[in-house]
Structure 1
Amino acid sequence: MSIKDTAEEWQITATTTPFTGNKTSVRTDDVVMPDGTVARRDYQVHPGSVAVLALDDLGRVLVIRQYRHPVRHKLWEIPAGLLDVPGENPLHAAQRELYEEAHVKAEDWRVLTDVYTTPGGSDEAVRVFLARDLSEAEGRRFEVSEEEADMEIKRVPLEELVRGVLAGELHNTCLVVGVLSLVAAQAGDGLDALRPAEAPWPARPFAS
């Protein structure tokens, strides 16, 4: 028996957008339930994101430490960013984020995993890439601002990140999902068996 998620959309009888922000908004839908009742659902409308688990030749993962105001924490994360342009190719966005946040480029790209971060309250979809064969990017470093101005960058052995995840010391969604997916891929069919970087992504269709 194959276990997989399936696309489905229940009837919406009314919808409003009570809040519109700079990058995201909040939508309220009245949704018809299977028993015929109508339930109101509020959720964040999100453009989608990409994240990059960059693995070097020594088995270390490139991580960044950044202040996240909603949770009042400095979190260790992997490079990530919004899909700012509708229909943007997620690989190109991931390559941009790796350059901007770490001034690094990669020659080998694969899709590690696709996730909905909080499907009960947001439609955010994230594609996590695996990037290998790393090197320093050419040219000047990207000028960062706001929270990113205080960002710290390190390369940490994969096993140390796994330990931190399981010990409850590392909490960022993309880091946790990316690190554990990488370990699972290594123990399974190997990293070269992962999906190609341009694999279709129904949650956020993109132009080639």
Structure 2
Amino acid sequence: MTLGAPRLRVADLVDRVQPRPVPTSEVALQGRVWDVRRDTVDLGEAGTVTREYVDHPGAVAVLALREDRGPAEVLLIQQYRHPVGAFEWELPAGLLDVDGEPPVHAAARELAEEADLRAGRWDLLADYVSSPGGLSEALRVFLARDLSDVPGDEVFEREGEELGMPTGWVDLDVAVESVLAGRIRNATVAIGLLSAQVSRAQGWASLRRADEPWPAHPRLRDR
């Protein structure tokens, strides 16, 4: 019975990365940015099943934090997201679509391109998988501090949907309150803000190295 299930310890709470054999795999739908893949998966005693999922390159996001003018503030950007029909407040973020680029370097590139900022200190704040039942995306959230503006002659020229995106600084406590109240709903910004709030309360003891291995990412787990 469920009430008699064992009590888990801290050491038990580790996701087990153990991909099952895939006898066949095909692209069911080829997209502009990512594909839908159809795999047959050998689950052992449970038999073979077919799973269709979005094959995603993964992504990084940056929680840029400053404490140089009072309470801790974070930078948010607003971007239109067509699938949900909303202008969402988000963290600077982007796809891991440059071959061989370390995730923290991708994060630094996105921070410069979307927010015109550089950071003197980088730490790993949080890892998560977006929707593991139908999407292979793994996402890593970095904490960026010791911030400075990108020099004027190096500012990235935005275009398309990124042109004219609003940006703004907000008190970390106010941003967290907005998540808990359901006023901002983007998963990445929620995970980043809540993780930062808890970690900061613990004196940042939970932060990890920015170059820590990433076994949850299907394409990076062997690096």
TM-score (norm: length of structure 2): 0.87
1:64 — aligned with what?
A: 77
Q: Distance in 2 between matches of 1:62 and 1:39?
A: 44
Q: Distance in 2 between matches of 1:27 and 1:123?
A: 10
Cα deviation code 1:91-128 (max 9, x no counterpart): 11111100000101111110001111111111111110
1:138 — aligned with what?
A: 151
Cα deviation code 1:42-90 (max 9, x no counterpart): 1011111110000011411000000001110000000000111233111
Q: Quick one: structure 1 residues 95 and 7, their matched pair in 2 at CA, closer, same or farther if it must change by over 3 Å? A: same
Residues 1:168 and 2:168 aligned together: no
User: SS of the residue aligned with 1:195?
Assistant: coil
1:51 — aligned with what?
A: 61
1:178 — aligned with what?
A: 192
2:31 — aligned with what?
A: 21
Q: Counterpart amino acid of 1:83? A: L
Q: Distance in 2 between matches of 1:199 and 1:152?
A: 32
* Structure 1 segment 72-151 matched on structure 2, within 5 A: 72-140=85-153, 141-151=155-165
Question: Is residue 46–residue 124 contact of structure 1 (8 Å, CA) maintained in 2?
Answer: yes
Residues 1:205 and 2:220 aligned together: yes
1:153 — aligned with what?
A: 167
Q: Distance in 2 between matches of 1:87 and 1:162?
A: 34
Residues 1:9 and 2:19 aligned together: yes
State the Cα distance separating 1:206 from its structure 2 match.
8.6
Q: Counterpart amino acid of 1:89? A: P
Cα deviation code 1:133-191 (max 9, x no counterpart): 11111133211112111310000111111111111111111100000011111223x22
Identity of aligned residues (%): 44
Q: Which has the higher contact order (CA 8 A, sep 6+)?
A: 1
TM-score (norm: length of structure 1): 0.93
78-87 or 95-104: which moved more?
78-87
More strand by share: 1
Q: Quick one: structure 1 residues 198 and 112, their matched pair in 2 at CA, closer, same or farther if it must change by over 3 Å? A: same
**Alignment: residue pair count:** 207
Q: Distance in 2 between matches of 1:45 and 1:28?
A: 10
Q: Distance in 2 between matches of 1:171 and 1:129?
A: 19
Q: Distance in 1 between matches of 2:170 and 2:185?
A: 16
Q: Distance in 2 between matches of 1:111 and 1:13?
A: 36
Report the structure number with the largest CA radius of gyration.
2
78-87 or 9-18: which moved more?
9-18
